[in-house]
Structure 1
Amino acid sequence: MAGKKQGDDTVATYGKDELIAYAGELFGVSPEAAQGALYGTDDGERFEIASAKALVDKFMNRKVN
């Protein structure tokens, strides 16, 4: 996964497939949990790590009836 370069103001973004593949390392969840958290987002959408983590945290902490 590519990271932010020094002196570069752009923030690295990643596709759903990359985030799901590295879910354990990035978010501490299974790939299936990350896939569930990102379900319903556009296939071509790109995410910053922080925004994807927020989606995963919200998914993992949701109330289940």
Structure 2
Amino acid sequence: SSNELMGTRVAHPTARVRDNVQLETAVNTITHEYLLEITSEYGISEALRPELPGPGDRIVDFSEGK
């Protein structure tokens, strides 16, 4: 999707089948639509929903070296 922004959810490589984790369903990007779906599903109010940075935005500014 052109709205892919950030975020990673990694399935543990040794996850057991009974844990219901499938590598095919692991999500490595979060779209705005997916974020809305998840926050709505878990009852997170709109005021508390995180704002995703744009594709070229820094998540954290690094301090300058010594």
TM-score greater than 0.5 by the shorter chain: no
Higher relative contact order at CA 8 Å, sep ≥6: structure 1 or structure 2? Answer: 2
TM-score normalised by structure 2 residue count: 0.30
TM normalised by structure 1 equals 0.31
Instruction: Choose between structure 1 and 2: higher strand proportion.
Output: 1
Larger Rg belongs to? 2
